[in-house]
Structure 1
Protein backbone atom coordinates (compact mmCIF):
# COMPACT_ATOMS: atom_id res chain seq x y z
CA UNK A 1 0.00 0.00 0.00
CA UNK A 2 1.39 3.37 -1.02
CA UNK A 3 2.45 5.50 1.89
CA UNK A 4 0.49 8.49 0.56
CA UNK A 5 -2.70 6.48 1.09
CA UNK A 6 -2.09 6.26 4.83
CA UNK A 7 -3.35 9.22 6.83
CA UNK A 8 -2.61 9.61 10.55
CA UNK A 9 -4.85 11.74 12.72
CA UNK A 10 -3.36 13.23 15.89
CA UNK A 11 -3.01 10.72 18.73
CA UNK A 12 -6.02 8.59 17.82
CA UNK A 13 -6.80 7.24 14.39
CA UNK A 14 -4.81 5.63 11.61
CA UNK A 15 -6.69 5.72 8.31
CA UNK A 16 -5.69 3.67 5.29
CA UNK A 17 -7.44 4.58 2.05
CA UNK A 18 -8.32 1.52 -0.02
CA UNK A 19 -9.39 3.08 -3.32
CA UNK A 20 -9.03 6.59 -4.80
CA UNK A 21 -12.56 7.79 -3.93
CA UNK A 22 -14.17 5.13 -1.75
CA UNK A 23 -13.28 2.97 1.21
CA UNK A 24 -10.86 3.27 4.12
CA UNK A 25 -9.76 1.04 6.98
CA UNK A 26 -9.68 2.79 10.34
CA UNK A 27 -7.48 1.65 13.24
CA UNK A 28 -6.84 3.16 16.64
CA UNK A 29 -10.40 3.16 17.97
CA UNK A 30 -12.14 0.67 20.26
CA UNK A 31 -15.79 0.38 19.24
CA UNK A 32 -16.63 -1.22 22.56
CA UNK A 33 -16.02 2.11 24.27
CA UNK A 34 -18.10 5.31 24.12
CA UNK A 35 -16.87 7.82 21.56
CA UNK A 36 -15.81 11.28 22.64
CA UNK A 37 -17.41 14.14 20.68
CA UNK A 38 -14.07 14.78 18.99
CA UNK A 39 -13.64 11.16 17.94
CA UNK A 40 -17.25 10.97 16.76
CA UNK A 41 -16.77 14.05 14.59
CA UNK A 42 -13.53 12.66 13.17
CA UNK A 43 -15.28 9.47 12.15
CA UNK A 44 -18.18 11.37 10.62
CA UNK A 45 -15.79 13.51 8.58
CA UNK A 46 -13.95 10.38 7.44
CA UNK A 47 -17.26 8.84 6.42
CA UNK A 48 -18.11 11.85 4.29
CA UNK A 49 -14.69 11.65 2.63
CA UNK A 50 -14.41 7.87 2.08
CA UNK A 51 -18.12 6.92 1.99
CA UNK A 52 -17.54 3.57 3.72
CA UNK A 53 -15.30 2.85 6.71
CA UNK A 54 -13.99 -0.57 7.75
CA UNK A 55 -12.81 -1.63 11.19
CA UNK A 56 -10.91 -4.82 12.01
CA UNK A 57 -10.60 -6.81 15.26
CA UNK A 58 -13.68 -5.21 16.78
CA UNK A 59 -15.45 -8.05 18.59
CA UNK A 60 -18.47 -6.01 19.57
CA UNK A 61 -21.78 -7.22 20.90
CA UNK A 62 -25.18 -6.28 19.54
CA UNK A 63 -25.59 -3.71 22.30
CA UNK A 64 -22.20 -2.18 21.49
CA UNK A 65 -23.05 -2.08 17.80
CA UNK A 66 -26.26 -0.19 18.61
CA UNK A 67 -24.41 2.20 20.92
CA UNK A 68 -21.81 2.96 18.23
CA UNK A 69 -24.49 3.64 15.62
CA UNK A 70 -26.38 5.99 17.96
CA UNK A 71 -23.40 8.34 17.90
CA UNK A 72 -24.49 9.34 14.40
CA UNK A 73 -28.23 9.68 14.77
CA UNK A 74 -31.49 8.06 15.79
CA UNK A 75 -31.84 4.41 14.81
CA UNK A 76 -34.40 3.10 12.35
CA UNK A 77 -36.38 -0.08 13.03
CA UNK A 78 -36.89 -1.94 9.76
CA UNK A 79 -40.41 -3.38 9.46
CA UNK A 80 -39.72 -6.55 7.42
CA UNK A 81 -36.44 -7.96 8.71
CA UNK A 82 -35.94 -10.71 11.27
CA UNK A 83 -34.69 -9.69 14.71
CA UNK A 84 -32.48 -11.81 16.93
CA UNK A 85 -33.62 -9.95 20.05
CA UNK A 86 -37.12 -8.47 20.08
CA UNK A 87 -36.04 -6.20 22.93
CA UNK A 88 -33.48 -4.61 20.58
CA UNK A 89 -35.54 -4.24 17.38
CA UNK A 90 -33.20 -1.70 15.76
CA UNK A 91 -30.68 -4.51 15.19
CA UNK A 92 -31.81 -6.91 12.49
CA UNK A 93 -30.44 -9.91 10.67
CA UNK A 94 -29.37 -10.18 7.04
CA UNK A 95 -29.90 -13.85 6.22
CA UNK A 96 -28.64 -15.74 3.21
CA UNK A 97 -31.67 -17.99 3.55
CA UNK A 98 -34.03 -15.05 2.96
CA UNK A 99 -32.22 -14.24 -0.29
CA UNK A 100 -32.62 -17.85 -1.40
CA UNK A 101 -36.34 -17.68 -0.66
CA UNK A 102 -36.67 -14.48 -2.71
CA UNK A 103 -34.50 -15.40 -5.68
CA UNK A 104 -34.37 -19.19 -5.70
CA UNK A 105 -31.36 -21.42 -6.30
CA UNK A 106 -29.82 -18.92 -8.73
CA UNK A 107 -29.39 -16.36 -5.97
CA UNK A 108 -26.99 -13.50 -6.57
CA UNK A 109 -26.39 -10.08 -5.13
CA UNK A 110 -28.20 -6.94 -6.26
CA UNK A 111 -26.80 -3.43 -6.28
CA UNK A 112 -28.93 -1.48 -3.83
CA UNK A 113 -29.15 1.33 -1.32
CA UNK A 114 -31.00 0.69 1.94
CA UNK A 115 -34.62 1.75 2.49
CA UNK A 116 -34.93 3.55 -0.84
CA UNK A 117 -38.69 2.98 -0.58
CA UNK A 118 -38.94 5.41 2.34
CA UNK A 119 -39.85 9.04 1.77
CA UNK A 120 -36.71 9.80 3.80
CA UNK A 121 -34.25 6.93 3.27
CA UNK A 122 -31.80 6.08 6.01
CA UNK A 123 -28.57 8.02 6.45
CA UNK A 124 -26.25 5.08 6.94
CA UNK A 125 -25.69 1.63 8.37
CA UNK A 126 -23.38 -0.35 10.65
CA UNK A 127 -22.89 -4.02 9.74
CA UNK A 128 -21.08 -6.84 11.53
CA UNK A 129 -20.81 -10.59 10.85
CA UNK A 130 -22.55 -13.23 12.94
CA UNK A 131 -21.81 -16.35 10.89
CA UNK A 132 -19.36 -16.32 7.96
CA UNK A 133 -18.44 -18.93 5.37
CA UNK A 134 -14.82 -20.03 5.27
CA UNK A 135 -14.48 -18.41 1.84
CA UNK A 136 -16.62 -15.96 -0.09
CA UNK A 137 -19.40 -13.66 1.03
CA UNK A 138 -17.57 -10.38 0.41
CA UNK A 139 -19.48 -7.11 0.12
CA UNK A 140 -18.75 -4.55 -2.61
CA UNK A 141 -19.56 -0.85 -2.39
CA UNK A 142 -19.82 1.50 -5.37
CA UNK A 143 -19.25 5.26 -5.34
CA UNK A 144 -22.55 6.46 -6.81
CA UNK A 145 -21.23 10.01 -7.22
CA UNK A 146 -18.27 8.79 -9.27
CA UNK A 147 -20.59 6.69 -11.44
CA UNK A 148 -22.67 9.80 -12.14
CA UNK A 149 -19.64 12.03 -12.82
CA UNK A 150 -18.32 9.62 -15.44
CA UNK A 151 -21.55 9.33 -17.41
CA UNK A 152 -21.53 10.97 -20.85
CA UNK A 153 -22.82 14.53 -20.77
CA UNK A 154 -25.70 13.58 -23.07
CA UNK A 155 -26.81 10.92 -20.58
CA UNK A 156 -26.58 13.34 -17.66
CA UNK A 157 -28.73 15.84 -19.55
CA UNK A 158 -31.28 13.12 -20.20
CA UNK A 159 -31.56 11.89 -16.60
CA UNK A 160 -30.94 14.98 -14.46
CA UNK A 161 -34.62 15.78 -13.92
CA UNK A 162 -35.98 12.24 -13.73
CA UNK A 163 -37.65 10.60 -10.75
CA UNK A 164 -37.26 6.93 -9.88
CA UNK A 165 -39.74 4.66 -8.11
CA UNK A 166 -38.66 1.71 -5.96
CA UNK A 167 -41.44 -0.77 -5.28
CA UNK A 168 -41.08 -2.52 -1.92
CA UNK A 169 -44.81 -2.91 -1.46
CA UNK A 170 -44.95 -6.71 -1.96
CA UNK A 171 -42.60 -7.21 1.00
CA UNK A 172 -44.40 -4.62 3.13
CA UNK A 173 -47.77 -6.19 2.40
CA UNK A 174 -46.54 -9.51 3.81
CA UNK A 175 -46.13 -7.89 7.24
CA UNK A 176 -49.22 -5.65 6.92
CA UNK A 177 -47.11 -2.50 6.86
CA UNK A 178 -49.04 0.18 5.02
CA UNK A 179 -46.75 2.63 3.22
CA UNK A 180 -47.28 4.47 -0.07
CA UNK A 181 -45.06 4.00 -3.09
CA UNK A 182 -42.96 7.16 -3.42
CA UNK A 183 -40.52 8.54 -5.97
CA UNK A 184 -37.11 10.18 -5.57
CA UNK A 185 -34.87 12.20 -7.88
CA UNK A 186 -32.71 9.78 -9.82
CA UNK A 187 -29.84 12.23 -9.29
CA UNK A 188 -29.68 13.57 -5.74
CA UNK A 189 -27.32 16.13 -4.24
CA UNK A 190 -25.64 14.99 -1.04
CA UNK A 191 -26.76 17.39 1.72
CA UNK A 192 -23.30 17.65 3.32
CA UNK A 193 -20.72 17.18 0.56
CA UNK A 194 -22.67 18.77 -2.30
CA UNK A 195 -21.83 15.87 -4.63
CA UNK A 196 -24.42 14.82 -7.18
CA UNK A 197 -24.97 11.05 -7.11
CA UNK A 198 -27.24 8.46 -8.64
CA UNK A 199 -29.93 7.14 -6.32
CA UNK A 200 -31.26 3.81 -7.55
CA UNK A 201 -32.02 0.42 -6.03
CA UNK A 202 -31.74 -2.44 -8.51
CA UNK A 203 -33.27 -4.91 -6.05
CA UNK A 204 -36.64 -3.10 -6.00
CA UNK A 205 -37.76 -3.10 -9.62
CA UNK A 206 -36.77 0.53 -10.31
CA UNK A 207 -38.89 2.41 -12.83
CA UNK A 208 -38.76 5.96 -14.12
CA UNK A 209 -41.78 8.09 -13.29
CA UNK A 210 -43.76 8.90 -16.44
CA UNK A 211 -41.83 6.49 -18.67
CA UNK A 212 -43.06 3.29 -20.27
CA UNK A 213 -41.81 0.00 -18.78
CA UNK A 214 -39.67 -0.54 -21.87
CA UNK A 215 -38.04 2.91 -21.60
CA UNK A 216 -37.43 2.41 -17.89
CA UNK A 217 -35.86 -0.98 -18.42
CA UNK A 218 -33.54 0.33 -21.10
CA UNK A 219 -32.22 3.09 -18.83
CA UNK A 220 -31.99 1.01 -15.66
CA UNK A 221 -30.16 -1.76 -17.53
CA UNK A 222 -27.70 0.83 -18.80
CA UNK A 223 -27.14 2.24 -15.31
CA UNK A 224 -26.74 -1.23 -13.85
CA UNK A 225 -23.98 -1.90 -16.35
CA UNK A 226 -22.26 1.33 -15.28
CA UNK A 227 -22.47 0.40 -11.59
CA UNK A 228 -20.88 -2.96 -12.41
CA UNK A 229 -17.66 -1.22 -13.51
CA UNK A 230 -14.85 -2.25 -11.08
CA UNK A 231 -13.26 1.22 -11.31
CA UNK A 232 -16.06 2.49 -9.04
CA UNK A 233 -15.77 -0.21 -6.37
CA UNK A 234 -14.20 -1.14 -3.08
CA UNK A 235 -14.47 -4.81 -2.08
CA UNK A 236 -14.33 -5.89 1.55
CA UNK A 237 -13.37 -9.36 2.71
CA UNK A 238 -15.16 -10.13 5.94
CA UNK A 239 -13.59 -11.92 8.84
CA UNK A 240 -14.58 -12.27 12.48
CA UNK A 241 -14.37 -8.95 14.28
CA UNK A 242 -14.92 -6.83 11.16
CA UNK A 243 -17.35 -3.89 11.10
CA UNK A 244 -18.46 -1.74 8.17
CA UNK A 245 -20.02 1.72 8.46
CA UNK A 246 -21.30 3.38 5.29
CA UNK A 247 -23.03 6.48 4.00
CA UNK A 248 -26.26 5.35 2.38
CA UNK A 249 -26.59 8.65 0.52
CA UNK A 250 -23.44 8.26 -1.60
CA UNK A 251 -23.06 4.52 -2.14
CA UNK A 252 -24.70 1.39 -3.41
CA UNK A 253 -23.59 -2.00 -2.15
CA UNK A 254 -23.63 -5.56 -3.43
CA UNK A 255 -23.50 -8.72 -1.29
CA UNK A 256 -21.57 -11.40 -3.12
CA UNK A 257 -23.38 -14.76 -3.01
CA UNK A 258 -20.64 -17.23 -3.87
CA UNK A 259 -20.68 -19.52 -0.83
CA UNK A 260 -23.27 -22.13 -1.79
CA UNK A 261 -25.82 -23.05 0.84
CA UNK A 262 -23.81 -21.84 3.84
CA UNK A 263 -26.14 -20.03 6.29
CA UNK A 264 -24.30 -16.70 6.24
CA UNK A 265 -25.72 -14.25 8.80
CA UNK A 266 -24.95 -10.56 9.26
CA UNK A 267 -26.43 -8.07 11.72
CA UNK A 268 -27.22 -4.55 10.57
CA UNK A 269 -28.24 -1.35 12.31
CA UNK A 270 -29.73 1.44 10.22
CA UNK A 271 -29.30 5.11 11.15
CA UNK A 272 -32.22 7.38 10.32
CA UNK A 273 -31.60 10.44 8.21
CA UNK A 274 -31.42 13.69 10.12
CA UNK A 275 -33.32 16.87 9.35
CA UNK A 276 -30.82 18.21 6.82
CA UNK A 277 -32.80 18.44 3.57
CA UNK A 278 -31.31 17.28 0.31
CA UNK A 279 -30.44 20.31 -1.77
CA UNK A 280 -32.77 21.21 -4.58
CA UNK A 281 -30.86 20.85 -7.83
CA UNK A 282 -31.22 23.91 -10.06
CA UNK A 283 -33.49 23.48 -13.07
CA UNK A 284 -31.81 23.30 -16.44
CA UNK A 285 -31.90 26.48 -18.48
CA UNK A 286 -34.45 26.57 -21.28
Structure 2
Protein backbone atom coordinates (compact mmCIF):
# COMPACT_ATOMS: atom_id res chain seq x y z
CA UNK A 1 0.00 0.00 0.00
CA UNK A 2 1.58 3.32 -1.03
CA UNK A 3 2.46 5.38 2.04
CA UNK A 4 0.93 8.53 0.62
CA UNK A 5 -2.47 6.83 0.54
CA UNK A 6 -2.61 6.33 4.32
CA UNK A 7 -3.07 9.29 6.61
CA UNK A 8 -3.03 8.96 10.38
CA UNK A 9 -5.70 11.32 11.73
CA UNK A 10 -5.27 10.28 15.35
CA UNK A 11 -3.46 7.47 17.10
CA UNK A 12 -6.43 5.19 16.39
CA UNK A 13 -8.00 6.51 13.16
CA UNK A 14 -6.49 5.73 9.76
CA UNK A 15 -7.70 6.84 6.34
CA UNK A 16 -6.93 5.04 3.09
CA UNK A 17 -7.89 7.12 0.05
CA UNK A 18 -9.37 5.18 -2.85
CA UNK A 19 -9.52 7.74 -5.67
CA UNK A 20 -8.11 11.28 -6.00
CA UNK A 21 -11.38 13.11 -5.31
CA UNK A 22 -13.69 10.59 -3.70
CA UNK A 23 -13.73 7.47 -1.58
CA UNK A 24 -11.78 6.49 1.52
CA UNK A 25 -11.68 3.54 3.88
CA UNK A 26 -11.63 4.41 7.58
CA UNK A 27 -10.20 2.06 10.19
CA UNK A 28 -9.46 2.28 13.89
CA UNK A 29 -13.03 3.10 14.92
CA UNK A 30 -15.86 1.02 16.42
CA UNK A 31 -19.26 2.02 15.03
CA UNK A 32 -21.09 -0.07 17.62
CA UNK A 33 -20.16 2.48 20.27
CA UNK A 34 -20.96 6.21 20.54
CA UNK A 35 -18.35 8.42 18.91
CA UNK A 36 -16.47 10.94 20.98
CA UNK A 37 -16.98 14.57 19.95
CA UNK A 38 -13.53 14.52 18.36
CA UNK A 39 -14.27 11.33 16.42
CA UNK A 40 -17.61 12.69 15.28
CA UNK A 41 -16.00 15.86 13.95
CA UNK A 42 -13.23 13.88 12.24
CA UNK A 43 -15.70 11.56 10.51
CA UNK A 44 -17.78 14.53 9.38
CA UNK A 45 -14.68 16.27 7.99
CA UNK A 46 -13.65 13.08 6.18
CA UNK A 47 -17.13 12.78 4.68
CA UNK A 48 -16.92 16.30 3.29
CA UNK A 49 -13.43 15.67 1.92
CA UNK A 50 -13.92 12.20 0.41
CA UNK A 51 -17.72 12.34 -0.21
CA UNK A 52 -18.15 8.61 0.47
CA UNK A 53 -16.36 6.77 3.26
CA UNK A 54 -16.29 3.07 4.13
CA UNK A 55 -15.86 1.16 7.36
CA UNK A 56 -15.02 -2.56 7.11
CA UNK A 57 -15.43 -5.26 9.79
CA UNK A 58 -18.23 -3.38 11.53
CA UNK A 59 -20.67 -6.16 12.43
CA UNK A 60 -23.35 -3.87 13.83
CA UNK A 61 -27.11 -4.32 14.06
CA UNK A 62 -29.94 -2.01 13.02
CA UNK A 63 -30.10 -0.19 16.35
CA UNK A 64 -26.34 0.51 16.28
CA UNK A 65 -26.53 1.66 12.67
CA UNK A 66 -29.36 4.06 13.57
CA UNK A 67 -27.41 5.34 16.58
CA UNK A 68 -24.32 5.96 14.46
CA UNK A 69 -26.25 7.90 11.81
CA UNK A 70 -28.14 9.93 14.43
CA UNK A 71 -24.86 11.45 15.59
CA UNK A 72 -24.78 13.41 12.31
CA UNK A 73 -28.31 14.79 12.20
CA UNK A 74 -32.02 14.10 12.41
CA UNK A 75 -33.01 10.83 10.75
CA UNK A 76 -35.58 10.56 7.98
CA UNK A 77 -38.19 7.80 7.68
CA UNK A 78 -38.73 7.00 3.99
CA UNK A 79 -42.39 6.48 3.04
CA UNK A 80 -42.00 3.76 0.39
CA UNK A 81 -39.21 1.44 1.53
CA UNK A 82 -39.65 -1.76 3.51
CA UNK A 83 -38.62 -2.04 7.16
CA UNK A 84 -37.36 -5.21 8.78
CA UNK A 85 -38.42 -3.98 12.22
CA UNK A 86 -41.33 -1.52 12.42
CA UNK A 87 -40.07 -0.51 15.86
CA UNK A 88 -37.01 0.89 14.07
CA UNK A 89 -38.57 2.78 11.13
CA UNK A 90 -35.41 4.80 10.48
CA UNK A 91 -33.73 1.69 9.00
CA UNK A 92 -34.95 0.78 5.50
CA UNK A 93 -34.27 -2.47 3.68
CA UNK A 94 -32.84 -2.21 0.17
CA UNK A 95 -33.80 -5.50 -1.49
CA UNK A 96 -32.33 -6.51 -4.83
CA UNK A 97 -35.64 -8.01 -5.96
CA UNK A 98 -37.50 -4.74 -5.40
CA UNK A 99 -34.72 -2.52 -6.75
CA UNK A 100 -34.43 -4.53 -9.96
CA UNK A 101 -38.17 -4.22 -10.46
CA UNK A 102 -38.03 -0.47 -9.88
CA UNK A 103 -35.13 0.11 -12.27
CA UNK A 104 -35.98 -2.61 -14.75
CA UNK A 105 -33.33 -3.15 -17.39
CA UNK A 106 -32.83 0.57 -17.96
CA UNK A 107 -29.27 0.99 -16.75
CA UNK A 108 -29.48 4.72 -17.25
CA UNK A 109 -31.96 4.87 -14.36
CA UNK A 110 -29.58 3.47 -11.80
CA UNK A 111 -27.51 6.64 -11.41
CA UNK A 112 -29.35 8.48 -8.66
CA UNK A 113 -29.20 10.47 -5.46
CA UNK A 114 -31.52 9.65 -2.57
CA UNK A 115 -34.84 11.49 -2.02
CA UNK A 116 -34.18 14.15 -4.66
CA UNK A 117 -37.97 14.40 -5.07
CA UNK A 118 -38.21 16.19 -1.70
CA UNK A 119 -38.06 19.94 -1.12
CA UNK A 120 -35.21 19.25 1.32
CA UNK A 121 -33.54 16.03 0.15
CA UNK A 122 -31.68 13.96 2.71
CA UNK A 123 -28.02 14.89 2.87
CA UNK A 124 -26.49 11.68 4.17
CA UNK A 125 -26.97 7.94 3.82
CA UNK A 126 -25.53 5.14 5.93
CA UNK A 127 -25.73 1.76 4.18
CA UNK A 128 -24.97 -1.57 5.87
CA UNK A 129 -24.40 -4.88 4.12
CA UNK A 130 -26.81 -7.52 5.45
CA UNK A 131 -26.73 -10.34 2.88
CA UNK A 132 -24.22 -10.32 0.03
CA UNK A 133 -23.71 -12.56 -3.01
CA UNK A 134 -20.45 -14.49 -3.15
CA UNK A 135 -19.41 -12.41 -6.15
CA UNK A 136 -20.72 -9.16 -7.64
CA UNK A 137 -23.06 -6.58 -6.20
CA UNK A 138 -20.61 -3.67 -6.14
CA UNK A 139 -21.76 -0.06 -5.80
CA UNK A 140 -20.31 2.77 -7.87
CA UNK A 141 -20.27 6.42 -6.81
CA UNK A 142 -19.63 9.34 -9.18
CA UNK A 143 -18.30 12.74 -8.09
CA UNK A 144 -20.98 15.23 -9.20
CA UNK A 145 -18.66 18.18 -8.63
CA UNK A 146 -15.91 16.69 -10.75
CA UNK A 147 -18.43 15.86 -13.48
CA UNK A 148 -19.60 19.49 -13.51
CA UNK A 149 -16.06 20.84 -13.66
CA UNK A 150 -15.34 18.54 -16.60
CA UNK A 151 -18.13 19.99 -18.74
CA UNK A 152 -17.32 22.41 -21.54
CA UNK A 153 -17.76 26.09 -20.77
CA UNK A 154 -20.44 26.21 -23.46
CA UNK A 155 -22.46 23.45 -21.78
CA UNK A 156 -22.03 25.03 -18.35
CA UNK A 157 -23.45 28.28 -19.71
CA UNK A 158 -26.46 26.41 -21.12
CA UNK A 159 -27.34 24.66 -17.88
CA UNK A 160 -26.26 27.17 -15.25
CA UNK A 161 -29.76 28.52 -14.63
CA UNK A 162 -31.75 25.36 -15.31
CA UNK A 163 -34.19 23.77 -12.88
CA UNK A 164 -34.93 20.04 -13.01
CA UNK A 165 -37.85 17.98 -11.74
CA UNK A 166 -37.50 14.46 -10.32
CA UNK A 167 -40.76 12.53 -10.62
CA UNK A 168 -41.34 9.98 -7.84
CA UNK A 169 -45.10 10.46 -7.78
CA UNK A 170 -46.15 7.01 -9.02
CA UNK A 171 -44.27 5.29 -6.20
CA UNK A 172 -45.59 7.73 -3.61
CA UNK A 173 -49.15 7.32 -4.88
CA UNK A 174 -48.95 3.56 -4.31
CA UNK A 175 -48.53 4.13 -0.58
CA UNK A 176 -50.96 7.05 -0.39
CA UNK A 177 -48.25 9.64 0.21
CA UNK A 178 -49.36 12.95 -1.29
CA UNK A 179 -46.40 15.05 -2.41
CA UNK A 180 -46.09 17.42 -5.38
CA UNK A 181 -43.47 17.24 -8.12
CA UNK A 182 -41.00 20.03 -7.42
CA UNK A 183 -37.96 21.46 -9.19
CA UNK A 184 -34.41 21.98 -7.97
CA UNK A 185 -31.45 23.80 -9.55
CA UNK A 186 -29.56 21.44 -11.85
CA UNK A 187 -26.32 22.98 -10.60
CA UNK A 188 -26.27 23.02 -6.82
CA UNK A 189 -23.77 24.73 -4.52
CA UNK A 190 -22.80 22.47 -1.63
CA UNK A 191 -23.85 24.28 1.56
CA UNK A 192 -20.76 23.22 3.53
CA UNK A 193 -17.91 23.01 1.01
CA UNK A 194 -19.09 25.65 -1.48
CA UNK A 195 -18.46 23.28 -4.39
CA UNK A 196 -20.74 23.48 -7.43
CA UNK A 197 -22.08 20.09 -8.51
CA UNK A 198 -24.76 18.60 -10.74
CA UNK A 199 -27.94 17.63 -8.90
CA UNK A 200 -29.85 15.14 -11.03
CA UNK A 201 -31.57 11.81 -10.48
CA UNK A 202 -31.62 9.68 -13.63
CA UNK A 203 -34.02 7.19 -12.03
CA UNK A 204 -36.86 9.75 -11.76
CA UNK A 205 -37.49 10.88 -15.35
CA UNK A 206 -35.69 14.23 -15.03
CA UNK A 207 -37.29 17.06 -16.96
CA UNK A 208 -35.91 20.59 -17.33
CA UNK A 209 -38.24 23.49 -16.67
CA UNK A 210 -38.97 25.47 -19.85
CA UNK A 211 -37.52 22.79 -22.12
CA UNK A 212 -39.43 20.40 -24.36
CA UNK A 213 -39.46 16.69 -23.59
CA UNK A 214 -37.14 16.03 -26.53
CA UNK A 215 -34.69 18.75 -25.50
CA UNK A 216 -34.67 17.38 -21.97
CA UNK A 217 -34.01 13.84 -23.18
CA UNK A 218 -31.03 15.00 -25.22
CA UNK A 219 -29.48 16.84 -22.27
CA UNK A 220 -30.20 13.95 -19.90
CA UNK A 221 -28.41 11.59 -22.30
CA UNK A 222 -25.45 13.96 -22.55
CA UNK A 223 -25.13 14.27 -18.75
CA UNK A 224 -25.56 10.53 -18.31
CA UNK A 225 -22.57 9.93 -20.59
CA UNK A 226 -20.52 12.22 -18.36
CA UNK A 227 -21.49 10.40 -15.16
CA UNK A 228 -20.64 7.10 -16.86
CA UNK A 229 -17.02 8.23 -17.30
CA UNK A 230 -14.79 6.01 -15.07
CA UNK A 231 -12.47 8.96 -14.35
CA UNK A 232 -15.21 10.41 -12.14
CA UNK A 233 -16.00 7.23 -10.20
CA UNK A 234 -15.06 4.95 -7.35
CA UNK A 235 -16.24 1.33 -7.43
CA UNK A 236 -16.54 -0.42 -4.09
CA UNK A 237 -16.57 -4.16 -3.38
CA UNK A 238 -18.67 -5.02 -0.36
CA UNK A 239 -17.59 -7.53 2.26
CA UNK A 240 -19.55 -8.79 5.29
CA UNK A 241 -19.60 -6.17 8.04
CA UNK A 242 -19.07 -3.20 5.71
CA UNK A 243 -20.78 0.16 6.31
CA UNK A 244 -20.77 3.04 3.80
CA UNK A 245 -21.54 6.68 4.62
CA UNK A 246 -21.98 9.14 1.77
CA UNK A 247 -22.96 12.72 1.03
CA UNK A 248 -25.97 12.87 -1.31
CA UNK A 249 -25.21 16.53 -2.02
CA UNK A 250 -21.87 15.68 -3.61
CA UNK A 251 -22.34 12.58 -5.73
CA UNK A 252 -24.59 10.02 -7.42
CA UNK A 253 -24.46 6.27 -6.93
CA UNK A 254 -25.18 3.21 -9.04
CA UNK A 255 -25.94 -0.33 -7.78
CA UNK A 256 -24.45 -3.06 -9.95
CA UNK A 257 -26.80 -6.01 -10.55
CA UNK A 258 -24.55 -8.78 -11.85
CA UNK A 259 -25.28 -11.59 -9.39
CA UNK A 260 -28.26 -13.37 -10.89
CA UNK A 261 -31.22 -14.24 -8.68
CA UNK A 262 -29.46 -13.86 -5.33
CA UNK A 263 -31.51 -11.52 -3.16
CA UNK A 264 -28.84 -9.10 -1.98
CA UNK A 265 -30.04 -7.23 1.11
CA UNK A 266 -28.75 -3.91 2.42
CA UNK A 267 -30.08 -1.68 5.18
CA UNK A 268 -30.07 2.09 4.82
CA UNK A 269 -30.53 4.97 7.24
CA UNK A 270 -31.07 8.46 5.82
CA UNK A 271 -30.01 11.70 7.50
CA UNK A 272 -32.30 14.69 6.97
CA UNK A 273 -31.10 18.07 5.78
CA UNK A 274 -32.22 21.55 6.71
CA UNK A 275 -30.99 23.02 3.44
CA UNK A 276 -33.02 23.55 0.27
CA UNK A 277 -30.87 22.89 -2.83
CA UNK A 278 -29.72 26.19 -4.26
CA UNK A 279 -27.02 27.81 -6.35
CA UNK A 280 -25.05 30.71 -4.94
CA UNK A 281 -24.25 33.20 -7.69
CA UNK A 282 -20.67 34.41 -7.56
CA UNK A 283 -19.54 37.76 -8.95
**TM class, shorter-chain normalised?**
over 0.9
Q: Deviations over 1:20-66 (max 9, x none)?
A: 00000000000011001110000000000000000010000000000
Q: 1:11 aligns to what?
A: 11
Q: Deviations over 1:233-266 (max 9, x none)?
A: 1111001010000001001000000011111110
Matches within 5 A, 1:242-253: 242-253=242-253
Structure 2 unaligned residues grouped into runs of 5+:
none
1:262 to 1:122, Cα distance in 2 relative to 1, 3 A = same
SS at match of 2:203: coil
CA contact (8 A) 2:146 2:197 kept: yes
Q: Distance in 2 between matches of 1:36 and 1:210?
A: 49
SS at match of 2:45: helix
Matches within 5 A, 1:1-286: 1-104=1-104, 106=105, 108=107, 110-273=110-273, 275-276=274-275, 280-282=279-281
1:279 to 1:213, Cα distance in 2 relative to 1, 3 A = closer
Q: Distance in 1 between matches of 2:275 and 2:164?
A: 21
- Tell me how far 1:224 sits from its aligned partner: 0.3
Q: Distance in 1 between matches of 2:276 and 2:205?
A: 26
CA contact (8 A) 1:191 1:277 kept: no
1:94 to 1:128, Cα distance in 2 relative to 1, 3 A = same
Report the RMSD for the aligned CA atoms in angstroms: 1.4
Q: Distance in 2 between matches of 1:215 and 1:99?
A: 28
Structure 1 unaligned residues grouped into runs of 5+:
none
CA contact (8 A) 1:99 1:107 kept: no
TM (norm. structure 1) is 0.96
Q: Distance in 2 between matches of 1:241 and 1:114?
A: 22
1:134 to 1:243, Cα distance in 2 relative to 1, 3 A = same
CA contact (8 A) 2:120 2:275 kept: no
1:21 to 1:210, Cα distance in 2 relative to 1, 3 A = same
Q: Deviations over 1:250-283 (max 9, x none)?
A: 010000000111111100000001x356554227
Q: Distance in 2 between matches of 1:158 and 1:235?
A: 30
SS at match of 2:235: strand
Q: Distance in 2 between matches of 1:31 and 1:8?
A: 18
Q: Distance in 2 between matches of 1:134 and 1:154?
A: 45
Q: Deviations over 1:69-108 (max 9, x none)?
A: 001000000000000000111100111111233344x475
Q: Distance in 2 between matches of 1:130 and 1:280?
A: 37
SS at match of 2:30: coil
SS at match of 2:79: coil
The size of the alignment, in residue pairs, is: 282
- Tell me how far 1:3 sits from its aligned partner: 1.3
Q: Distance in 2 between matches of 1:67 and 1:88?
A: 11
Q: Distance in 2 between matches of 1:130 and 1:272?
A: 23
Q: Distance in 2 between matches of 1:93 and 1:51?
A: 23
Q: Distance in 2 between matches of 1:9 and 1:281?
A: 32
Q: Distance in 2 between matches of 1:107 and 1:129?
A: 24
TM (norm. structure 2) is 0.97
SS at match of 1:89: coil
